[in-house]
Structure 1
Amino acid sequence: MTERRLTRGVAFMVSPFNDRRLQRCRSGWRKFACKDILLAYIRPFYRRRFAMSTSAMKSSESTARMVSKRSPAIVKRASGPPKRSAGAAKRSPGAAKRPASLASRLATALEADIVSGRLRPGTRLDEQALARRFKASRTPVREALRQLESRGMVENRPRQGAQVMQLSLASLIEMFETMAWLEAACASLAARRHTQVDRDAIQAAHEACVSAQQALDPAAFYRANTQWHEALYAASQNRYLEQETLLLRNRLEPYRRAITFHEGLMSLSVQEHQRIAEAIFAMDEARAMSEMRGHLDTLRNDAVRTYGALLRTE
């Protein structure tokens, strides 16, 4: 037993590190003649180191054996990144779109009524009546009206409450001028960037406009005309320009629907649409922009004439 302990201690002692440490002792380990004295000298210091080293080695070996016994699929899964839980995936921003709030849904419904003409310019919007209609409290109704006011669809007058925006003649002219520049930019970009899908959509909407004009159907012409303009916006391949143009167009729709769709204007619009489409398909940006601005000037002049007459009769 003494020999084994001595051998174990000497094995640690003769390593370069341990030898240097022992050499620093003033007496030095070579002065010890007795093995028992040598063992007594080195045992307190090296027993602790040996125990720590041995336990660490055994722990590493046992871990390696346990990992090697596991199946390759388990090892592969363990080495990869941790899987996210289903709850975390649902909470991630891109996992699913949050449903629109009640106020947003009410604002969308009211905007559709304004654009379609069911709520005409100047119509008063009573919060209690709207709450009864939509079976909701007044809080989401009030928030929906605020959203529409920020879009320029509703105005809130002192001591009168909210009502559908009623433009002055000067404001209507300014909006048509702005619309002319936006749609001209869409036409110019469409001439440069349109695809075959865009070409087919523009042509199909134009043919629908021709059919509605020949049938003298203002409602059908309005729908086909809207499709034609929206197809042209999409052909610009600029989603920001498309969004801004649609936003302003929605503000103008109540007035355009009420005052600009008659037999003479439908026939003229079909001819102008044809010239704009030809310029776009020929990839002539300058001509497409010029033709589109001329088209919007025609709509503006007709709107000013008709809307001015309506304002004078009120």
Structure 2
Amino acid sequence: MSSQPPRRSEQLSDAIEELIVTGSVTPGMRLDEQELADRFEVSRTPVREALIQLAAVGMVEIRPRRGAVVAEISSDRLCEMFEVMAELEAMCGRLAARRITPAEQLRLREAHLACQAARDAADADRYYGLNEDFHAAIYAASHNSFLEEQATTLHRRLRPYRRLQLRVRNRMQTSFDEHGAVVDAILAGDSEAAASRLRGHVIVQGERFADLVASLAMLDREREAAAGGRR
């Protein structure tokens, strides 16, 4: 039996999430149901359902009398979330190194090579999408469905910030090199090396966290300038 096509609300959830990820709507901004309905040429009902879905993963907050707004994350909270993400990824890598099947090894290699093509093309947006495929391949190879669900959910929540990191100079090349070290460890069955390398790949501390915060500040200035230009 063929799989069912995604519901309209799920498609809208992905579309609104993309607006958040790309900065078209910013943290704290109100998401007007009627404006979104007009934009996507649908009724307000699937828009409301989509916003509830996004609220469930923390990308949107439903506030009394204000409706839905894009969630805001403090720098301290963001650091905490990346710390948890790093440990979830490390656990996925540790289990994947022990449990990965030949078919999953092939999928992981292919995902890594696809990232290489995007890196060579200097296409950060394409690289980010393929980077998600790379990490999803590791989650699946852990053969722990609960862990896979949790890692996927938090990865999705951090998507705007992980994507923004690629704007930092040379980060795409560094990310690809780190991917290569992770692949080598998993394929060699070295569970502790796989965990350590994935943790180091994801954790955002020290200079990397300072770079991310600086990138966020720069993005805010760009948005303010653009808003000023529209007045």
Q: TM-score range by the shorter chain?
A: 0.7 to 0.9
> Aligned AA for 1:146?
I
Query: What are the ranges of 5 or more consecutive residues in structure 1 without an aligned counterpart?
Result: 1-94
The residue aligned with 1:239 is: 145
Give the CA deviation at 1:190.
Answer: 0.4
More deviation, 211-220/171-180: 211-220
Distance 1:140 1:126 in 2: 13
Which has the bigger relative contact order, CA under 8 A and spacing at least 6? 2
The residue aligned with 1:81 is: none
Distance 2:118 2:11 in 1: 32
Distance 1:216 1:160 in 2: 41
Distance 1:154 1:308 in 2: 23
The residue aligned with 1:292 is: 198
User: What does the per-residue CA deviation read over 1:98-126, in whole Å, with 9 as the maximum and x for residues that have no partner?
Assistant: 77655444334323443455444344211
> Aligned AA for 2:106?
D
Q: Does structure 1 residue 129 correspond to structure 2 residue 35?
A: yes
Distance 1:255 1:234 in 2: 23
The residue aligned with 1:167 is: 73
- Cα pair distance change 1:281/1:175, threshold 3 Å: same
More deviation, 145-154/110-119: 110-119
SS at match of 1:148: helix
Distance 1:114 1:277 in 2: 31
The residue aligned with 1:148 is: 54
Give the CA deviation at 1:233.
Answer: 1.2
SS at match of 1:163: strand
Distance 2:4 2:117 in 1: 41
How many pairs align?
220
Distance 2:6 2:153 in 1: 19
Give the CA deviation at 1:202.
Answer: 1.3
The residue aligned with 1:209 is: 115
Give the CA deviation at 1:197.
Answer: 1.3
* 8 A contact 1:186–1:241 mirrored in 2: yes
- Cα pair distance change 1:147/1:141, threshold 3 Å: same
> Aligned AA for 2:151?
T
- Cα pair distance change 1:283/1:171, threshold 3 Å: same
Give the CA deviation at 1:297.
Answer: 2.1
Q: Does structure 1 residue 250 correspond to structure 2 residue 156?
A: yes
User: What does the per-residue CA deviation read over 1:238-266, in whole Å, with 9 as the maximum and x for residues that have no partner?
Assistant: 22211211111111111222243444111
* 8 A contact 2:97–2:185 mirrored in 1: yes
Distance 1:209 1:108 in 2: 22
* 8 A contact 1:117–1:258 mirrored in 2: no
TM-score, structure 2 as length reference: 0.81
The residue aligned with 1:267 is: 173
Q: Does structure 1 residue 280 correspond to structure 2 residue 193?
A: no
- Cα pair distance change 1:266/1:300, threshold 3 Å: farther
Identity %: 44
* 8 A contact 1:256–1:303 mirrored in 2: no
SS at match of 2:72: coil
Distance 1:101 1:216 in 2: 34
TM-score, structure 1 as length reference: 0.61
Q: 1:45-194 residue pairs with structure 2 within 5 A?
A: 102-115=8-21, 117-157=23-63, 159-194=65-100
* 8 A contact 2:89–2:198 mirrored in 1: yes
User: What does the per-residue CA deviation read over 1:117-150, in whole Å, with 9 as the maximum and x for residues that have no partner?
Assistant: 5444344211111222334443443333222112
Query: What are the ranges of 5 or more consecutive residues in structure 2 without an aligned counterpart?
Result: 222-231
User: What does the per-residue CA deviation read over 1:20-42, in whole Å, with 9 as the maximum and x for residues that have no partner?
Assistant: xxxxxxxxxxxxxxxxxxxxxxx
